Chain A
């Protein structure tokens, strides 16, 4: 096993750990588990191939690619939701500023 692969695995483990410490417990543990499963499958590719064959996918690497795709879409979805929540906060902030200036004008 070469040095680059080990480096990548360490980075993945760190990111997984970082997300695992996220305030959403279930989401954190899920990401933690998934990233370590990924590391395991990279170190022992024969297992991923075996699972892939069981699912009717040719190679283990292909199976990982499909998983990557699904997880990316899921991640994108969560980011989208987060953006939406932030927009709602901004809206509330802007609205209260707008209403403050309106009440000032009223008194004049």
Chain B
């Protein structure tokens, strides 16, 4: 399956100067993209190719997929780390961070494998880290532009989750459960995700205390695929229970 054109191609043509990387950057391969993937064979190719095309290094953490995710990612030029058993997205992110800490990197980006994030947004986040504006820059779908095709109920739940994060951490977060983030070296060393499943997003926010935090608007493409793979709303109860139990074990 040859896929020369990325779905986001049209968008990249419109890159304005503010979105492109600073000129002094000749080599971007020390900017690592951590892409946790579980059964994403249909979307991983476009995601990895778009990362490679911009000269970044994709690190795909295959969370023991039963499909061809790992092979496709590998053939597209990604570093592939395969979990021997399924551990969850949080665990995959932590594996990616630990792998990158053994390498020499400037910026870490966490990027979803279902194609809902866009490289142009990631570049804004990276620039913010490179300009030393913050240690951790999170994407927010609720800043500025509206999320495209977001179901109203999901929007409501995400805003409640963000409110919870604001109250529990005191951070001015508007979107706590966005998979698109950029971390500086300092942030990558500080953050340690122990919640394997979905509570990791909230956990990560609690560890941001001593880091400089920033949010930038990003666009999330809601497709049938990403909606089907995404969080089920009933999961928010599980997240709260996980966080509560975690208080006694972590």
In the bound complex, how far is the Cα of B95 from the Cα of A95, in angstroms? 6
The tally of residues in A whose CB lies under 8 Å from a CB in B reads: 18
Q: Are B81 and A98 in contact (CB under 8 A)?
A: yes
B84 proximity list for chain A (CB < 8 A):
94, 97-98
At the interface with chain B, which of A20-28, A30-38, A80-88? A80-88
- Which residue of A has the minimal Cβ distance to B83? A98
Contact with A along B86-107 (1 / 0, CB 8 A): 0100010011001100100000
At the interface with chain B, which of A5-13, A42-50, A54-62, A99-107? A99-107
Q: Are B245 and A99 in contact (CB under 8 A)?
A: no
B196 proximity list for chain A (CB < 8 A):
87, 91
B98 proximity list for chain A (CB < 8 A):
95, 99
Q: Are B99 and A91 in contact (CB under 8 A)?
A: no
- Which residue of B has the minimal Cβ distance to A87? B196
**CB contact list, B25-72 vs A, under 8 A:** 61
Q: Are B82 and A98 in contact (CB under 8 A)?
A: yes
In the bound complex, how far is the Cα of B238 from the Cα of A80, in angstroms? 14
B249 proximity list for chain A (CB < 8 A):
81, 84-85, 88
Residue picked from A87, A91, A106, most chain B C-beta under 10 Å = A91
Q: Are A81 and B87 in contact (CB under 8 A)?
A: no
A33 to chain B, nearest CB (A): 22
B172 to chain A, nearest CB (A): 31
Residues A101 and B99 in contact in the complex (CB < 8 Å), given A84-B245, A91-B196: no
Residues A102 and B87 in contact in the complex (CB < 8 Å), given A81-B248, A88-B194: no
Contact with A along B233-250 (1 / 0, CB 8 A): 000000000000110110
Contact with A along B17-31 (1 / 0, CB 8 A): 000000000000000
In the bound complex, how far is the Cα of B62 from the Cα of A105, in angstroms? 14
B46 to chain A, nearest CB (A): 23
Q: Are A81 and B245 in contact (CB under 8 A)?
A: yes
Contact with A along B211-232 (1 / 0, CB 8 A): 0000000000000000000000
B198 to chain A, nearest CB (A): 14
In the bound complex, how far is the Cα of B84 from the Cα of A103, in angstroms? 15
B102 to chain A, nearest CB (A): 8
Does B183 belong to the interface (CB within 8 Å)?
Answer: no
Q: Are B245 and A101 in contact (CB under 8 A)?
A: no
Does B4 belong to the interface (CB within 8 Å)?
Answer: no
B91 proximity list for chain A (CB < 8 A):
91, 94-95
In the bound complex, how far is the Cα of B81 from the Cα of A105, in angstroms? 9
Q: Are B87 and A84 in contact (CB under 8 A)?
A: no
B61 proximity list for chain A (CB < 8 A):
98
* New A-B pairs, 16, CB < 8 Å, besides A81-B249, A99-B102: A84-B246, A85-B249, A88-B249, A90-B87, A91-B91, A94-B85, A94-B87, A95-B91, A98-B95, A99-B81, A99-B98, A99-B99, A102-B79, A102-B80, A102-B99, A103-B102
The contact sample of 8 A-B pairs, CB cut-off 8 A, is A81-B248, A90-B85, A91-B196, A94-B83, A94-B84, A99-B102, A101-B82, A105-B79
User: What 9 A-B pairs have minimum CB-CB distances, sorted nearest first?
Assistant: A102-B81, A84-B249, A95-B95, A98-B83, A98-B81, A97-B84, A91-B91, A81-B249, A94-B84
* Chain B contact residues, CB within 8 Å of chain A: 61, 79-85, 87, 91, 94-95, 98-99, 102, 194, 196, 245-246, 248-249
